[in-house]
Amino acid sequence: MHPAQDVVELILEDHRTLEDLLRLMRSTEADRSAALHDFAHLMIAHGEAERASVHPVLLTCFEDDDTVAHIETAHQEAVKILFALLRVRDLASAEGEWRLQQLACATGRHTDEQERTLVNRVRETLSRACREELGAGYARTRADLLAARCGSVAHVHRLVHATAPV
């Protein structure tokens, strides 16, 4: 049995791992394709686990739901960029480099904003026990999504088109 983990710690750990994977995708000495696929799986699992396990509770922490909606919109924009990058044949090409730069900027902005707003609000508002309960749900959802290889091109395609404007 694993010790209970605070949802904030889990979210921040994912953010640091995503940053590490972005660095690997920029390195000519790394397996950039493997790093991209690891990034895709973690990014999708992270975002979907937050949406399913954390965001409903966070709506009670804010007077309005604009903050959570804005975070979700920013994540969806990053998913669209990820999908475009996953479809690039050669990550070392000009298009691959450009898409990677777009992804790094979008995820960097999203992570920064999320850490300054949602993460701090969770720390201020929710008890440690509540954060650990949220952490258990988050970890379970995230693990299930990772096991299902949620960052596949086909799944990311479905996510992009399921939320596209009609």
Grouping H, G, I as helix, E, B as strand and the rest as coil, residue 64 is coil
Grouping H, G, I as helix, E, B as strand and the rest as coil, residue 12 is helix
State pTM to two decimals. Answer: 0.91
* pLDDT tens figures, 48-91: 999 998 888 877 766 666 877 888 888 999 999 999 999 999 99
Under 8 Å CB-to-CB from 6, ≥6 apart: which residues? 128, 131, 132, 135
Residue 59 phi/psi, 5-degree rounding, is -60, -25
Report residue 129's pLDDT band, with 50, 70 and 90 as the boundaries.
very high
